[in-house]
Amino acid sequence: MSLTPQDISRIANLARLELQPEEQARMLSKINDFFGIVEQIRAVDTTGVVPMAHPVDAMPGSHIELRLRPDVASEPNQRDLNQRSAPAVERGLFLVPKVIE
Amino acid sequence: MTTLHNMGVAELAHALQTKQVSAVEVATAFLARTGGNPHNTFLDIDSEVTLAQAQASDARIAAGTAGPLEGVPIAHKDVFVTRDFATTAGSKILSGYRSPFDATVVQKLSSAGMVSLGKVNCDEFAMGSANENSAYGAVTNPWDTTHVPGGSSGGSAAAVAARLAPAATGTDTGGSIRQPASFCGITGIKPTYGRASRYGMIAYASSLDQAGPMARSAEDCALLLSAMCGADLDRDSTSLDMPAENFSAKLGDSLAGLRIGIPKEFFGDGLAADVRTAIDAALKVLEAQGAKLVPITLPRTELAIPVYYIIAPAEASSNLSRFDGVKFGHRASAYTDLVSMYKKTRAEGFGEEVKRRIMTGAYVLSHGYYDAYYLQAQKIRRMIADDFQRAFAECDVIAGPVAPTVAWKLGNNASDPLADYLADIFTLPASLAGLPGMSMPVGFGEGRLPVGMQLIGNYLQEARLLNVAHQYQLNTDFHNAKPEGV
């Protein structure tokens, strides 16, 4: 199976990446090279195999639990520190382009 | 006393505790070596910060409140966030980023008394096998500067090999500690998934990422790993709920009767002759110490490549969605609306390999392809993990090469990313299973470039791996070899 230029445009949009035309062409060829080695996985018989999302799931005698911590504020307020690397901030708020007209 | 920069972690810790040398003297000696940034290893250095930490160490030593690694310097891979140094993950999108906190691993090593020398180079977001994907330039291999140091923890490995630091932190998603350790002739260990906290480690593929130490010997790695690991239940949902372990405890155990599994798939046609020769010789050393070699099979070794390069990019495409130019990092200067701001910011901020993995990941997760690729890969991932459990019924540890060849030439695979992927074949299976794995130097191949042997253990068997490596290092001297001029 090969991807098409349309696939690349569609995924680039989903991934929120603006690709230049020559970048798109290179992306298409490299990703298709990669899918050349991926095809072998489709031939593997995985009937009845439970997907493994997580290594803890494979440890004998272990099982993954979604651990939740108590719902209490545990982090100090560090707004200034948290915002010191932000590209645009005003009065403690992150600025973005207008979303609603 | 040996020159300070030629001392390892254990030696330095001892010299500091017995007050033969001060932490400030040690820090000053290493800082002096980083001048001119040899091999392009460091991304951020701040001698004031380092010396202030060293002074604090000296005060604790004087007060009798020193930690186990008090005053010993360490460099941190740039995927660990740090309060006192910039953190970029090797990416332009995080240029100049300052974290409000230290990663748990960084904080634990500081609590043990370690002094931070700064941040070291790596592949962008740890995506690479040669350290050529860093936005801040490639790192060169101290053994031959026309060759790569391996990746993604290439800066960490080169810093230790060139004696710019006695130790460094690394992270391993598909081999990123073991392979650069192998290429640079040092020792490195990736513990069982969940041993070291991922809090503050910039995420690449969350079900695979694991932190570990890189240093000169197994003895040093055991000390560092003991300080790094431990449950972090409130901050890392996949942290293992286990007490801290002393990984040095079994270093002295005899290897008599140890069953070493030799997977035939690791010794096929793809393995270069020079690497094979070094590995075979190392196995003979272990046999002479009483270990027995047992032939085993890991039949899905080759499948680990497509399985990993589906699962890791899928997780990366999700993890890297946070880099959107809103809360931190780079933002494009010209855009029309919010979506165009996202797209231009990410286009400008990410390098080519990162974009390729985001695209691959988004594709295999997209409607119509999820079952055929992502879910199928997760099923084969379980089969690979099961293969290891079958193998460990017959052996105690598994040994083989870390990589099929020694370090390749810089730029060699620049136009062929697939070649880098294929070279990860021997490290990917243990990563997918979440098993501990390590690399130890066992000789030299073509061009006098180092060869590393990989040891893989069952879950939580880090102490066993370190024991095997330490016993080997007691009988050989490859871990003390250093590049010319160092």
**Is residue B68 scored above 80 in pLDDT?**
yes
pLDDT value at residue A64: 62
pLDDT-above-90 percentage for chain B: 96
Please give the mean pLDDT across all residues of chain B: 97
- How much is the average pLDDT of B381-394? 98
- Please calculate the CA angle B143-B222-B71 and round it to the nearest 5 degrees: 80
In one-letter notation, the amino acid at residue B157 is: A
Angle, to 10 degrees, between the axis of helix B9-17 and the axis of helix B218-228? 70
Q: The tokens 């030593």 sit on which residue?
A: B61
Give the three-state DSSP class for B450. strand
pTM, to two decimals: 0.97
Provide the residue range defining the domain that includes B157. 4-255
Kindly state whether residue B472 falls inside one of the protein's structural domains. no
pLDDT value at residue A84: 93
Catalytic residues of B, which ones?
A: 77, 152, 176
Omega before residue A29 within 30° of 0, cis: no
- How much is the average pLDDT of B361-387? 96
Whether residue A37 and residue B418 make contact (CB cut-off 8 A), yes or no, is yes
pLDDT-above-70 percentage for chain B: 100
Kindly state whether residue A36 falls inside one of the protein's structural domains. yes
pLDDT band at B331 (very low <50, low <70, confident <90, very high): very high
Query: CB contact, 8 Å: B238 with chain A?
Result: yes
The better pLDDT of the pair B158, B242 is held by: B158
Q: What is each CA distance from B483 to B130, B186, B441, in whole angstroms?
A: 19, 11, 13
Domain at A26, CATH number: 1.10.20.60
In one-letter notation, the amino acid at residue B190 is: K
Cα–Cα dist A73/A58, whole Å:
33
**Testing the interface with A: which of B381, B383, B456 to mutate, by most A Cβ within 10 A?**
B381
Domains of chain B: total: 1
**Testing the interface with A: which of B82, B309, B327 to mutate, by most A Cβ within 10 A?**
B327
The token pair that represents B309 in the structure block? 């390069």
Query: CB contact, 8 Å: A72 with chain B?
Result: no
Please report, in angstroms and rounded to a whole number, the separation of the first and last CA atoms in chain B: 17
Domain at B73, CATH number: 3.90.1300.10
Which chain A residue lies closest to B377 (C-alpha atoms)? A41
pLDDT value at residue A99: 86
Kindly state whether residue B239 falls inside one of the protein's structural domains. yes
Query: CB contact, 8 Å: A12 with chain B?
Result: yes
Kindly state whether residue A101 falls inside one of the protein's structural domains. no
Query: CB contact, 8 Å: A100 with chain B?
Result: no
Cα–Cα dist A84/B14, whole Å:
40
| Window from A52-61, B109-118, B205-214 with minimum mean pLDDT | A52-61
Domains of chain A: total: 1
In one-letter notation, the amino acid at residue B254 is: S
DSSP category for residue B98: -
The token pair that represents A66 in the structure block? 């979604």
Kindly state whether residue B428 falls inside one of the protein's structural domains. no
Query: CB contact, 8 Å: A89 with chain B?
Result: no
Interface of B with A in 336-355 (CB under 8 A): 336-344, 346-347, 350, 352, 355
pLDDT band at B189 (very low <50, low <70, confident <90, very high): very high
Q: How far does Cα B438 stand from its chain's mean position?
A: 9
- Is B345:B324 a contact under the CB 8 Å cutoff? yes
Q: What is each CA distance from B415 to A29, B137, B353, in whole angstroms?
A: 11, 16, 11
Kindly state whether residue A58 falls inside one of the protein's structural domains. no
> How many beta-carbon pairs under 8 angstroms link A with B?
174
pLDDT value at residue B2: 77
Cα–Cα dist B283/B453, whole Å:
9
- What is the sign, positive or negative, of the torsion defined by CA atoms of A9, A14, A15, A17? positive
Cα–Cα dist B388/B432, whole Å:
11
Kindly state whether residue B316 falls inside one of the protein's structural domains. no
Kindly state whether residue A2 falls inside one of the protein's structural domains. yes
Kindly state whether residue B160 falls inside one of the protein's structural domains. yes
Q: What DSSP string describes B361-417? A: HHHHTSTTTIIIIIIHHHHHHHHHHHHHHHHHTT-SEEEEESSSSSPPBTTTTTT-H
Cα–Cα dist B432/B436, whole Å:
11
Residues written for chain A: 101
Cα–Cα dist B193/B211, whole Å:
9
- Tell me the pLDDT tens digit for each residue of B210-251: 999 999 999 999 999 999 999 999 899 899 988 889 999 999
In one-letter notation, the amino acid at residue B217 is: S
- How much is the average pLDDT of B55-72? 98
Task: Count CB-CB contacts under 10 A for residue B213.
Answer: 34
pLDDT band at B14 (very low <50, low <70, confident <90, very high): very high
**Testing the interface with A: which of B308, B382, B389 to mutate, by most A Cβ within 10 A?**
B382
Kindly list the averaged pLDDT for each block of 10 residues, start to end, along chain A of length 101: 92 96 96 94 96 87 72 88 94 92 75
Kindly state whether residue A26 falls inside one of the protein's structural domains. yes
- Reported as half-sphere exposure (CB side, CA atoms, 13 A), residue B465 has a value of 29
pLDDT band at B326 (very low <50, low <70, confident <90, very high): very high
Provide the residue range defining the domain that includes A14. 1-44
Kindly state whether residue A77 falls inside one of the protein's structural domains. no
Cα–Cα dist B260/B296, whole Å:
9
Q: What DSSP string describes B206-230? A: TTT-EEEEEESSHHHHHHHHHHH--
Query: CB contact, 8 Å: B335 with chain A?
Result: yes
Of B264, B272, B285, whose CA–CA distance to B445 is shortest?
B272
Please report, in angstroms and rounded to a whole number, the separation of the first and last CA atoms in chain A: 43
Number of H helices, E strands in chain B: 15, 11
Kindly state whether residue A82 falls inside one of the protein's structural domains. no
Kindly state whether residue B456 falls inside one of the protein's structural domains. no
Kindly state whether residue B408 falls inside one of the protein's structural domains. no
Cα–Cα dist B14/B485, whole Å:
26
B434 CA to chain A: closest CA distance, Å?
A: 5
- How much is the average pLDDT of B188-208? 97
- Reported as half-sphere exposure (CB side, CA atoms, 13 A), residue B439 has a value of 32
Q: What is each CA distance from B173 to B63, B344, B428, in whole angstroms?
A: 40, 28, 8
Beta-strand relationship, B397-401 and B450-457 = antiparallel
